[in-house]
Structure 1
């Protein structure tokens, strides 16, 4: 696979993951946690070119005033864009950290958030105080891990919460540590994994390697095909797929072969045979599918429980919204966005210019 084609593939995959669920950096460690569409009871919605937040009735609780608004985290804080700067607000719409950053990301389990200012990355606490001063050319958030991957001078290493190097910059690229204590790294053009001792735990041999997800498996790319490995580096599911997602909290991944999409379990067995032109991740017994330019939903048995009738969230790609643990999904009908329940009926009629929830 040519480098340009590989980059395009990752770009499309990243876009699909973003639209199906929470916005996050591609290298952040997957959490595999079930999330509701209405995070903290609120959903970001766009009206008259500005973003605010609505409740489950569709009424604005925080009036449209932002240039972009991300879903609320479990801590009750959301990232917003005002002009060309990011800040953080609470569920009342008040700034807890004023808009002042070029980039900003969700707070990690250790209480730190990755930000960018004056073209450098650093980490702040919930008060907005710098814990690790901006100094890195690129960086990944801490996520659920103890260490964060950072880049300086063209090489990647790992720092702890105080900003001290745990692993000195030496890799060509790096991702986040997962719960099993492994993080993907690239060296000499190929990917492997290091452990919490800073040493290689899985020797580099993959064209690309993702962070381990909550199932204990990680996606890897070999000879243009995706497969899944365990923490020893052994294949649990041999490389055979053109595209593949991480496993959801329910233990299912969406894969494609010969331009047809299906669903597998953590053993690699097909739960739904490849048959769809496009298929989203199976979340809460629902996954969107595309047919003749329209979006519908199937259940885990492969049955079409909500017939295709919705438009793609982001044309010309065929993309639908994932169902959250609260039983809601964002959909688009014509040029307006609304919310449906698991029965396909509207809980909020299409009326908004955009919706961005945290389902999946």
Structure 2
């Protein structure tokens, strides 16, 4: 089972065993936090389009040779019949940029780490410990815990005095500190460690004892997947299969790899090929692809050879396999890679943001973090920059805020 991209500094989701091609899911973003960690590349020659200067879009799709000097950046656009030369300074290579430096910050970069808001609260890491911020930026829970997860289903796993339990917003111990380790709730179940074995915890605090007695399933945090749509992928000595919320095996342990369900389908692997099954375990899309990713917004990214495209529930190609990498849709857009650069397509397969970025995250609340060189910024759905490329790392917008890193410290920016 793949890493879900939620492992953040000090968080409570341990790394999981990636499939041989799990980099296809994590490229251009994250992988231990949802942020790209790929090294900065030289970009002496690059495409530069859909960027605003003084709130006016520059939509050129020409190829530019970029020359940097102390006065600014000179772009020489080379085309078949014409040559255009103009100069502009870095401070103006952005649309909708605030005139006064720092105005974009909702909270200044003063924290060790800030996670995106989850159900109205953001996990914050400080020297004192882990706490939680409200949408207004104040502490709902002061930073006093050794480790902490996200608030899902109204509670979060936290560690105090070397034991894990679950608290609500009022810091009541809804589930007592009985566990050496505990993880976030997913679909009303959470993975917890008990007496050396791992099992699932219910929201009422009960354990899936049926699973503890099941010899066919390996009981560790890697072999037990997160629940989604009522089922969880699990691993046994003979392969992967699925259990229901009571811990019963309902889809046999017969696959070489298996991932969680999304929109009624789960991707599975056998004999080196990927396909999709339904919740009854029936193969609905043959296992014939070299790699596949989760169904999102009705479309399934698949790879044949080195080419990526999208199919529908019937296995019909709806966006041709013309990309070097293609990721699941979110908010009507999907990240795609052409050569070494990332852009975005819509559900018709049309490029809506040119592939000009060295890294990119999914859209969230209408905005996406993008990377140029070793710095991050944000674009809107029209591809217009909101800020200069100035952040060391960026993350998703949630509750109108996005965590960003500047000079090694984390703060929150506003939309």
Alignment TM class, shorter chain as reference: 0.7 to 0.9
* Aligned-partner Cα distance in 2 for 1:238–1:44: 40
SS in 2 for 1:203: strand
Which residue is equivalent to 2:291? 208
1:236 & 1:288 partners in 2: Cα distance? 27
Give the whole-Å Cα distance in 2 for the aligned partners of 1:102 and 1:189: 34
**Relative to structure 1, is the Cα distance of residues 208 and 258 closer, same or farther in structure 2, using a 3 angstrom cutoff?**
same
Whether 1:178 and 2:178 are equivalent positions in the alignment is no
Whether the aligned pair in 2 keeps the contact of 1:252 and 1:263 (CA below 8 Å) is: yes
**Cα 1:310/1:178, change in 2 over 3 Å:** closer
Residue deviations 1:138-174, cap 9 Å, x none?
Answer: 122222x132221111411122222222222111111
**Worse-matched range after superposition: 327-336 or 49-58:** 49-58
**Does the 8 Å CA contact 1:167/1:198 hold for their aligned counterparts?**
yes
1:19 corresponds to 2:25: no
Report the TM-score, using the length of structure 1 for normalisation: 0.77
Match of 2:171 among 93, 103, 112: 93
Shift of 1:239: 2.6
In the alignment, is the contact (CA less than 8 A) between 1:88 and 1:99 conserved in 2? no
How many residues of Structure 1 are paired with residues of Structure 2 in the alignment?
A: 311
Aligned-pair distance for 1:48?
A: 0.5
Query: For the residues of structure 2 that align with 1:107 and 1:196, how far apart are their CA atoms?
Result: 17
Residue of structure 1 aligned with 2:326, choices 224, 244, 249: 244
- Partner of residue 225 from structure 1, selected from 303, 307, 323: 307
**Secondary structure, in 3 states, of the residue corresponding to 2:404?**
strand
Q: Residues 104 and 116 of structure 1 are in contact (CA less than 8 Å); yes or no, is this contact kept in structure 2? A: no
RMSD: 2.8
Q: Aligned residue for 2:244?
A: 160
CA displacement 1:22-46 (0-9 Å, x = unmatched) = xxxxxxxxxxxxxx94334321111
Unpaired runs of 5+ in structure 1?
A: 21-35, 313-319, 343-360
Deviations 1:46-104 (A, max 9, x none): 1116211122343322121223322212x211123457654322112233222514352
Task: Work out the CA distance in 2 between the residues paired with 1:12 and 1:83.
Answer: 37
> What corresponds to 1:32 in structure 2?
none
Cα separation, partners in 2 of 1:290 and 1:13, compared to 1, 3 Å:
closer
How far is 1:114 from its partner? 3.2
Q: Which runs of 5+ in 2 are unaligned?
A: 1-17, 36-114
The equivalent residue for 1:291 is: 372
Structure label with greater radius of gyration: 2
Determine the structure 2 residue equivalent to 1:323: 397
Match status 1:58 vs 2:142? no
Residues 121 and 135, structure 2, Cα contact 8 Å, conserved in 1: yes
The partner residue of 1:194 within 277, 288, 300 is 277
Distance in 1 (CA, whole Å) between partners of 2:248 and 2:206 is 17
Q: Is the CA contact (8 Å cut-off) linking 2:366 and 2:381 kept in structure 1? A: yes
Q: Return the TM-score normalized by structure 2.
A: 0.68
C-alpha separation in 2, matches of 1:43 and 1:161: 28
Q: Could you tell me whether the CA contact under 8 Å between 2:166 and 2:173 is conserved in 1?
A: yes
- Per mean C-alpha deviation after superposition, the further-off stretch among 261-270 and 229-238 is 229-238
Residue deviations 1:191-239 (CA, integer Å, cap 9, x gap): 11122332211111112222212x1112222213332221112222223
Contact 1:102 1:118 in 2 (8 A): no
Per the alignment, residue 158 of structure 2 pairs with 80
Q: 1:57 to 1:327 in 2, by over 3 A?
A: closer
**Residue 42 and residue 8 in structure 1: after superposition, are their counterparts in 2 closer, same or farther (change >3 A)?**
closer
Does the Cα contact within 8 Å between 1:105 and 1:141 map onto a contact in 2? no
